[in-house]
């Protein structure tokens, strides 16, 4: 399938969902008053989707991959922040595991996109061949 807009990328859609979850889970309770952690978690969550979108607009797959690596790193950063939230009692074990697993899944999706782009370095950057994607929510 041809991808013409970053919103069609499954990893971006998943990252958008994650950002929504992070904002929702940090708006109330003790975590909402831990401004540094709350803001870091939100920035990392937004960074995942933003870097996928920004990389898509670049002129080459090589540049796109650089931004995808940043997005993947932001997912790992958010996983680390989730440990802090868990250790401080801001989130429960079940919420932690759900967030962690969702980030792990998103990270694998990004890795698979990187592998695809690396194997197809001559594909034009704005129209990409990739797996079938569901419609944007």
| HSE toward the beta carbon, residue 44, CA cutoff 13 A | 22
Distance CA 73, CA 79 (A): 10
SS3 state of residue 123: coil
Statement: the pTM of the whole predicted model exceeds 0.75: yes
Annotation: CATH topology of 9-122:
de novo design (two linked rop proteins) (1.20.1440)
Helix locations, 1-137, DSSP H: 10-25, 35-56, 61-87, 93-119
Taking a C-beta distance cutoff of 8 angstroms, is the pair 73, 67 a contact?
A: no
In the numeric block, the tokens 């399938």 are attached to 1
Q: 9-20, pLDDT tens digit by residue?
A: 999 999 999 999
What are the domain boundaries of the chain?
9-122
Q: 28-81, pLDDT tens digit by residue?
A: 999 999 999 999 999 999 999 999 999 999 989 999 999 999 999 999 999 999
Distance CA 104, CA 28 (A): 25
């Amino acid at each position: 399938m041809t991808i013409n807009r970053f919103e069609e990328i499954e990893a971006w859609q998943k990252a958008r969902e994650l950002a929504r979850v992070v904002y929702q889970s940090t708006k109330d309770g003790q975590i909402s008053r831990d401004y540094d952690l709350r803001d870091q978690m939100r920035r990392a969550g937004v960074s995942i989707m933003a870097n996928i979108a920004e990389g898509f607009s670049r002129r080459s797959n090589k540049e796109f991959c650089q931004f995808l690596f940043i997005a993947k790193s932001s997912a790992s950063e958010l996983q680390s922040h989730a440990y802090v939230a868990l250790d401080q009692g801001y989130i429960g074990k079940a919420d932690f595991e759900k967030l962690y697993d969702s980030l792990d899944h998103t990270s694998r999706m990004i890795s698979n996109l990187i592998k695809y782009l690396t194997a197809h370095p001559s594909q034009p950057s704005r129209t990409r061949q990739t797996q079938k994607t569901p419609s944007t929510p």
